[in-house]
């Protein structure tokens, strides 16, 4: 679902952030299934539902890989 990702953390913050380039085809497929209608992909990527979906899928994969809580991304920018 993710084409590219950059994860950033620093010792002065208690969380990681991710800059994500999602797979546009998979995002469109998810949005269609969920009934989210937007004119263009950029508007679609800004919706709460899509952002939540991407973050949840990332963290699900992280938990399956046995990452610790502080190793999981808490917010994304798409």
pLDDT in tens, 14-25: 889 999 999 999
Q: Which domain holds residue 59?
A: 2-6+16-77
Q: Tell me the pTM.
A: 0.82
Look at residue 65 and tell me if it is in a domain.
Answer: yes
pLDDT in tens, 22-67: 999 999 999 999 999 888 888 999 999 999 999 999 999 999 999 9
Look at residue 49 and tell me if it is in a domain.
Answer: yes
Look at residue 58 and tell me if it is in a domain.
Answer: yes
Look at residue 64 and tell me if it is in a domain.
Answer: yes
Look at residue 70 and tell me if it is in a domain.
Answer: yes
CA 25, CA 21: separation in Å to the nearest integer?
A: 12
Burial of 62 (0-12, 13-18, 19+ CB in 10 A): middle
Look at residue 11 and tell me if it is in a domain.
Answer: no
Q: Please compute, for residue 39, the number of CA atoms within 13 A of its CA located in the half-sphere on the CB side.
A: 0
How many structural domains is the chain composed of? Answer: 1
């Amino acid at each position: 679902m993710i084409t590219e990702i950059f994860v950033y953390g620093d010792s002065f913050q208690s969380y990681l952030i991710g800059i994500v380039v999602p797979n546009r085809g998979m995002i469109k497929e998810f949005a269609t299934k969920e009934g989210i209608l937007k004119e263009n992909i950029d508007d679609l990527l800004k919706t709460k539902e899509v952002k939540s979906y991407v973050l949840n899928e990332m963290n699900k994969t992280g938990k399956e890989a046995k990452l610790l809580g502080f190793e999981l991304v808490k917010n994304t920018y798409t």
